[in-house]
């Protein structure tokens, strides 16, 4: 598949590490002007050293006003990937109110904020665009000790459908990718224990976790014109986990 993002400005949140970082590098290779937003400056510094074409923005998505301003400062933006998220593990009965606030602030409210700024800009410029929200298999399946993470990703799927409904008429498509475990920093948090990992792998028909590149491929597809009639979908990248 021949994909080019020449002339496009793409904002990727959570681009300091993991999936977001590899996505930023890939999109830059495809000719996009990539704006990498993330929380930790030193991670972004190593990213821009690796590809000096990438622009970086240090912002904490927990801070609505500061991150909104940071995104407004890098407009115009044609394409947006809401990838930043955090996970915290706890049995449901031990969940603290601050855990709920933290995960909802970053994983859900962060998407609302960034998407409002970018969508308004695309609408003003009448250029059309695409937004990809990085959700998870956890949006649709119960994962032990992941109550609030699952709830936050369920919210991402629901939010995406409404965004697709309301922004579609303005020529902005909105979709999610829903990966299974990927052994990034976040993936290792939940799945480093070999027994836990094996029990998850045994439920994945392809018998393995996903690679970062496999998630990047799906995001690139949904972001590109190759998916020009795809709007409001949740695309599992899970080796069949959600199908069983
Ligand atoms: P990582 O933890 O490896 O990377 C997350 C990135 O998001 C980091 O660069 C981090 O910044 C950034 N980030 C976190 N909080 C904030 C914040 N408040 N403001 C700005 N940036 C922030 O995660 P993954 O790459 O694994 O995850 C990427 C996406 O994929 C997430 O949406 C995740 O939920 C989803 N996903 C991941 C799976 C997995 O198994 N890994 C499975 C399914 C979905 P910093 O550099 O400071 O750490």
4: in domain: no
Count other Cβ atoms within 10 Å, centred on residue 125.
13
Instruction: Say how far apart CA 140 and CA 50 lie, in whole Å.
Output: 36
Please give the distance, rounded to the nearest whole angstrom, from the Cα atom of residue 83 to the centre of ligand 1. Answer: 7
40: in domain: yes
Domain count, the chain: 1
Which helix (H) or strand (E) segment holds residue 37: the answer is strand 33-38
193: in domain: no
ipTM reported for the complex surpasses 0.95: yes
150: in domain: yes
109: in domain: yes
Q: Mean pLDDT over residues 88-111, rounded?
A: 98
Q: Which CATH number goes with the domain that contains 145?
A: 3.40.50.720
* C-alpha dihedral (157, 209, 244, 148), degrees to nearest 10: -40
13: in domain: yes
Which of 11, 12, 19 to mutate for ligand 1's pocket (most ligand atoms within 8 Å of CB)?
Answer: 19
Residues 140-178 have pLDDT tens digits of 999 999 999 999 999 999 999 999 999 999 999 999 999
In angstroms, the Cα distances linking 85 to 78, 205, 208, 234, 244 are 21, 26, 23, 17, 26
Q: Mean pLDDT over residues 41-46, rounded?
A: 98
Instruction: Say how far apart CA 157 and CA 133 lie, in whole Å.
Output: 8
87: in domain: yes
Which of 14, 61, 70, 150 to mutate for ligand 1's pocket (most ligand atoms within 8 Å of CB)?
Answer: 14
Instruction: Say how far apart CA 241 and CA 222 lie, in whole Å.
Output: 20
Structural domain boundaries, residue 67: 9-183+211-236
């Amino acid at each position: 598949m021949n994909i080019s993002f020449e002339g496009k400005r793409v904002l990727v949140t959570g681009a300091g590490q993991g999936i977001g970082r590899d996505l930023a590098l890939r999109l830059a290779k495809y000719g996009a002007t990539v704006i990498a937003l993330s929380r930790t400056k030193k991670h972004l510094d190593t990213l821009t050293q690796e590809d000096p074409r990438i622009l970086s923005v240090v912002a904490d998505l927990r801070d609505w006003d500061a991150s909104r301003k940071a995104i407004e400062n890098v407009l115009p933006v044609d394409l947006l990937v809401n990838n930043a998220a955090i996970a915290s593990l706890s049995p449901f009965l031990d969940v603290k109110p601050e855990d709920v606030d933290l995960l909802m602030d970053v994983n859900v409210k962060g998407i609302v904020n960034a998407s409002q700024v970018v969508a308004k800009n695309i609408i003003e410029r009448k250029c059309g665009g695409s937004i990809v929200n990085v959700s998870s298999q956890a949006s649709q399946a119960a994962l032990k000790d992941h109550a609030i993470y699952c709830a936050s990703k369920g919210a991402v799927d629901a939010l995406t459908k409404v965004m697709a409904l309301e922004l579609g008429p303005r020529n902005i498509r909105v979709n999610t990718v829903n990966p299974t475990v990927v052994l990034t920093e976040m993936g290792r948090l939940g799945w480093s224990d070999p027994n836990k990992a094996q029990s998850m792998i045994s439920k994945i028909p392809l018998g393995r976790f996903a690679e970062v590149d496999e998630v990047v491929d799906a995001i690139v597809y949904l972001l590109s014109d190759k998916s020009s009639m795809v709007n409001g979908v949740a695309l599992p990248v899970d080796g069949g986990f959600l199908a069983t």
